[in-house]
Structure 1
Amino acid sequence: MPSYLLKGGVVATFTKDNKPVAFNADVLVEGSVISNIGEGLTAPSGVEVIDCTERWICPGMIDTHRHVWMAVLKGYPQCDWLLSEYLVKSTLVLQAHITPDEVHIGQLAGCLDALHSGVTTILDHFHAANTPDHAEAALEATVQSGARVILCPGRQSPATRTLPSPEYGIEEETLKWQLEKLQEWGSRDGGKLSADGRVTLGLAYDLATIGPMEKHQEILKMARAIPVSIITAHVVKGPRILIYRDGGLLGPDVVFSHCNELYDHTAPDDEMWAAMKEHNCAIASTPEDELGMAHGNPPAFEAVERGIKCGLGVDCASINSGDLFTQMRFALQFYRGRQHEQVDRDKKTPPQHNKYNAADAFRLATLGGAEAINMSHLIGTVEVGKKADLVIFDTTSANLAGISNPFQGVVFHASNADVETVLVDGEVVKRDGKLTKVAWGPVAKELREKADRIRERHPESSLEVLWAEYYTKFGGPLWT
């Protein structure tokens, strides 16, 4: 495997004692790990030198909640849908009728989209495991992409009927093969789904509020015995956290996405926050779509204040772009806006400074994400001995030229156009602004073809008719 000396850059990262630091240094990458950091390093024989003059060297960003395969659904205006509208149009129809080859190209394109934006690790809530072929298509594309991914197949079956109410007519057979597939994948070297260990096994489990708790306990006990590395589930509104707690399902391997319910629970001794803290669970906050789709308010910095593990996520690749720059900005500016609003409303003396700054948002997208998925010993910072998951920013770009503080630059000014080079596990997957492990051109062509096919099969007009029927029948939100 090639090795690299990243020469003459500025390293921007957090330290072991949780401080943001930026310093001039060379970074030596040997194999899949960072082997040395310091000024004036000399490249050993056979090591390629990458000139990082006027470049920032940062840890790869970590997405703690994304439905990667949904990149193939970008042709629909999902960014304008309410959550309840999305659940009907996308979950009950598009997701239920997606084909394995459509999942494959969506998964591949979604992973490459992430890498292009400097996101090197993804917690993938893969909720389109409709058949064994769908599951294998997702795995194959994930491994092919070169991204670091915790692939969490969803324990759920596709809808077999939409009206007059949803019906899941193949639940029994789906449950059987999904658990068999989980066992099969888990038997591969302890859940390592790729030879290099970049792709590992998790489980997405949204069903704990449905049916007897004993069944859920049995399934999660089996999953943990495999072991899966992460168990993830959606929490928007409602008491799901307490249901997990009361069923004995919580643990440090649990990542709840969204958790907007928690924003409304402000008491220091609130039992939901207490359960998260006691069991060392994590939150994956996706502020951009949460604010726009009626999930509720994003609790990212409320989690930070309470010492709860928290990372950021894109959520649906069909709704938002595949970068975490936007998520960092939304999370930070939403928190600031609400604090300013409260000061004004209560006629308080304004603070001298904002409580949280760009470095705090940067941490959510890097080290915070690594902590959330229990991988901070491997990724999330630029340190000797950690995996070489690195992003190199070109500071001579139109976006970044003249900026001296890399944390402010990355959070408030950067885009994927400034991501010059990306390494995952010591392998260069983007160089000079172009993806290298998988050529983008053929992927883009197939993605367009498959997206057109889906839209022909499910025209937007027919989805709107279905949604109108649902809205007339049920009215309010469907997430409770």
Structure 2
Amino acid sequence: MARSALVPALLVTCSFAVPAFASSVLFERGTIITFNNASQSLEVLRNASLLTSSDRITAIFEDSNANITIPPGTQRVSAEGKIISPGFVDTHRHGWQTAYKTLGSNTTLAEYFDRYGEFTQAGTVFKADDVYLGQLVGIYEALNSGVTTILEHAHATFSNETAAAYLNASIDSGVRMWFCYALHTLSNGFSVADQMANYKDLIRDERLPESLVKMGLAYDAFASASDDEIRSVLDLAKNTDAAALTTHYLGGPWFDANSPSRLNEFAFLNTSMPIVFSHASFITPDDAVLLRKYNHYISTTPESEMHYGHGHEFSAFIQDQAAIGVDTHFTYSTDIITQVRIWLQSTRLKLFSQTMRDWKIPRNNPMSVNQAFLLATRSGGLALHRPDIGVLQVGAKADIVVFDGNSPNMLGWVDPIAAIILHSHVGDIKHVLVDGKWRKRDGELVLGQNRTAIEQRFLQSARIIQKIWETTPLPDLEGVYSNGIVYGSAMTVDVEKGNGTGY
């Protein structure tokens, strides 16, 4: 498994010669949001510059105190009036579902399971090219919104062909990715044993060492599979040095027992491999203790958990071991800023309400914009055990997002962190670098592929898939959902006079 030494403390003033690299970029005279290891907090530098060389940040300096040798051929980019931020980290996503866009605008999680997920007819409808195009176009959207790292719960592993196409798109995209191959029991005859063999083949891909993609595993059957199968999956993760393991964990009425406690029964938490538990909506105190003890993380996906109805009842109380994800981005954007803004305000509401229920007026705000910013950046890197991702520090990876601080909605800002979290949108993102390479420049995506041709192919693929789902009847959600929990009807509201919510 790839490991990274801790990066050195932030260099603010310096006097040294930067070695010459083939590719260097200097962002000049901007406002930079750094992370200070000594204080373990965000730090803002104004009228400062940032130099990248190859794939790393090699200097961060205030112009008034600098004596920096700039490598020949360095690209100089004015950052005056701009805010320079670390790239955003998405710790839970299913990119292949892009073709479903807008079809699930009023769906629920129970309906999703029967209609849009990995165990539906998707396994027979989606061909390799459909998966490739959906994943690639979905990543375009992520890069455009400043997401530079994705942990992909890759569950379009319906066959050797779809899995290979899925990986190819991820490599071709230029995003930094932990590609976690899903092992799952499907109805099309592609068995877990077949998937394990396919995973072993894919991790030998000769492109991987030079790419930004690392291979991991996703597995959701810790509650339902035999102990023998579970042990074989965990052995595969260990023996292949998987870059990460991820699993969906909801708990509560969902009875989804892919919990830290369950993995601890197999003595698997005591590992240097990152383990990410997606959602953790009804996480227990015992599970929280285990996360802190073994340094594993949850990925909360705020808009998903509100949209689909699985909620985030207790996950606000384990934010020291949490990061932010997007989940099923076909029902909303892959914009992490929107996700963390929703999370910030829903957490504030939850904790404000607790105080007011006791007939007390809150004297303080329970969560700050700085904490939200860290969840969207550094916490994602820590969830992947990579302290050199999601931060702007000397020695960190050159994953950088530059915001236009003079846009109409950001104009007048004083606090750059608040400006990003509360006032920015995707249109304010001018530049994106991943691993020191341009992915967006002057507001336009910079890609290795012919974007227009790819998007046209995607639209042809999506129209065919969308027509199939539009004509597929909705599932009949009656009776018992699971383990004695029955389906129930939520109260509906209507803006106009009438009955219920009009779809």
Do they superpose with TM above 0.5?
A: yes
- CA pair 34-477 structure 1, distance change in 2 beyond 3 A: farther
Identity percentage of aligned residues: 29
- CA pair 340-75 structure 1, distance change in 2 beyond 3 A: closer
- Secondary structure of 1:260 counterpart: coil
- Secondary structure of 2:123 counterpart: coil
Between the aligned partners of 1:115 and 1:477, the Cα distance in structure 2 is 38
Q: Which residue of 1 aligns with 2:386?
A: 375
Q: Which residue of 2 aligns with 1:283?
A: 298
- CA pair 328-101 structure 1, distance change in 2 beyond 3 A: same
Q: Which residue of 2 aligns with 1:156?
A: 184
- 1:83 matches 2:90: no
Q: Is the 8 A contact 1:187 1:226 kept in 2?
A: no
Q: 1:48 aligns with which of 72, 75, 79?
A: 75
Q: Which residue of 1 aligns with 2:394?
A: 384
Q: Which residue of 2 aligns with 1:357?
A: 368
Q: Is the 8 A contact 1:15 1:381 kept in 2?
A: no
Amino acid at match of 2:112: Y
1:270-315 deviation digits (Å, cap 9, x = unpaired): 32222222222210000111012111225453112xx4x2110110
Q: Is the 8 A contact 2:282 2:313 kept in 1?
A: no
Structure 1 residue runs of 5 or longer lacking an equivalent are 161-169
Between the aligned partners of 1:477 and 1:383, the Cα distance in structure 2 is 50
- Secondary structure of 2:264 counterpart: helix
Between the aligned partners of 1:290 and 1:317, the Cα distance in structure 2 is 12
How far residue 177 of structure 1 moved from its aligned partner, in angstroms, is 2.6
Q: Which residue of 2 aligns with 1:22?
A: 44
Q: 1:177 aligns with which of 162, 176, 194?
A: 194
Amino acid at match of 2:281: N
- CA pair 12-315 structure 1, distance change in 2 beyond 3 A: same
Q: Which residue of 2 aligns with 1:3?
A: 24
Between the aligned partners of 1:358 and 1:448, the Cα distance in structure 2 is 38
Aligned length: 448
Between the aligned partners of 2:25 and 2:479, the Cα distance in structure 1 is 60
How far residue 349 of structure 1 moved from its aligned partner, in angstroms, is 4.2
1:355-375 deviation digits (Å, cap 9, x = unpaired): 211111000000011111111
How far residue 439 of structure 1 moved from its aligned partner, in angstroms, is 4.3
How far residue 336 of structure 1 moved from its aligned partner, in angstroms, is 0.7
How far residue 70 of structure 1 moved from its aligned partner, in angstroms, is 1.2
- 1:240 matches 2:258: yes
1:140-174 deviation digits (Å, cap 9, x = unpaired): 111111000000110014334xxxxxxxxx2xx52
Q: Which residue of 2 aligns with 1:64?
A: 91
- Secondary structure of 2:396 counterpart: coil
Between the aligned partners of 2:33 and 2:56, the Cα distance in structure 1 is 17
- Secondary structure of 2:77 counterpart: strand
- Secondary structure of 1:379 counterpart: coil
TM-score (norm. length: structure 2) = 0.85
Amino acid at match of 1:240: N
Tell me how large the CA RMSD over aligned residues is. Answer: 2.0
Greater Cα offset, 286-295 or 416-425: 286-295
Between the aligned partners of 2:451 and 2:423, the Cα distance in structure 1 is 25
TM-score (norm. length: structure 1) = 0.89
Between the aligned partners of 1:94 and 1:80, the Cα distance in structure 2 is 20
Amino acid at match of 1:328: V
How far residue 195 of structure 1 moved from its aligned partner, in angstroms, is 4.3
Q: Is the 8 A contact 2:280 2:315 kept in 1?
A: no
Amino acid at match of 1:453: I
Q: Is the 8 A contact 1:130 1:157 kept in 2?
A: no
Q: Which residue of 2 aligns with 1:165?
A: none
Q: Is the 8 A contact 2:171 2:211 kept in 1?
A: no
How far residue 81 of structure 1 moved from its aligned partner, in angstroms, is 0.7
Q: Which residue of 1 aligns with 2:122?
A: 95
Structure 2 residue runs of 5 or longer lacking an equivalent are 1-21, 489-503
How far residue 472 of structure 1 moved from its aligned partner, in angstroms, is 5.8
Between the aligned partners of 1:433 and 1:142, the Cα distance in structure 2 is 22
Q: Say which structure is richer in helix.
A: 1
Q: Which residue of 2 aligns with 1:186?
A: 203
- CA pair 299-450 structure 1, distance change in 2 beyond 3 A: farther
1:286-305 matched pairs, under 5 angstroms: 286-297=301-312, 299-304=314-319
Q: Is the 8 A contact 2:24 2:71 kept in 1?
A: no
How far residue 408 of structure 1 moved from its aligned partner, in angstroms, is 0.5
1:404-423 matched pairs, under 5 angstroms: 404-423=414-433
Q: Which residue of 2 aligns with 1:258?
A: 279
- CA pair 430-299 structure 1, distance change in 2 beyond 3 A: farther
Q: Which residue of 2 aligns with 1:140?
A: 168
- Secondary structure of 1:350 counterpart: coil
Amino acid at match of 2:393: E
- Secondary structure of 2:331 counterpart: coil
- CA pair 65-179 structure 1, distance change in 2 beyond 3 A: same
Greater Cα offset, 93-102 or 338-347: 93-102
How far residue 42 of structure 1 moved from its aligned partner, in angstroms, is 5.4
1:436-463 deviation digits (Å, cap 9, x = unpaired): 114432232222211101022x242423
Amino acid at match of 1:128: A
Q: Is the 8 A contact 2:480 2:486 kept in 1?
A: no
Q: Is the 8 A contact 2:28 2:50 kept in 1?
A: yes
- CA pair 273-473 structure 1, distance change in 2 beyond 3 A: closer
- Secondary structure of 2:30 counterpart: strand
Greater Cα offset, 199-208 or 431-440: 431-440
Greater Cα offset, 447-456 or 107-116: 447-456
Q: 1:114 aligns with which of 123, 142, 152?
A: 142
How far residue 473 of structure 1 moved from its aligned partner, in angstroms, is 7.3
How far residue 342 of structure 1 moved from its aligned partner, in angstroms, is 1.1
- CA pair 281-415 structure 1, distance change in 2 beyond 3 A: same
Q: Is the 8 A contact 1:287 1:331 kept in 2?
A: yes
Q: Is the 8 A contact 2:479 2:487 kept in 1?
A: no
- CA pair 5-445 structure 1, distance change in 2 beyond 3 A: same
Between the aligned partners of 1:175 and 1:108, the Cα distance in structure 2 is 26
How far residue 221 of structure 1 moved from its aligned partner, in angstroms, is 1.7
Q: Is the 8 A contact 2:480 2:487 kept in 1?
A: no
Q: Is the 8 A contact 1:285 1:299 kept in 2?
A: no
- Secondary structure of 1:355 counterpart: coil
Q: Is the 8 A contact 1:310 1:371 kept in 2?
A: no
Greater Cα offset, 221-230 or 357-366: 221-230
- Secondary structure of 2:85 counterpart: strand
Q: Is the 8 A contact 1:12 1:56 kept in 2?
A: yes
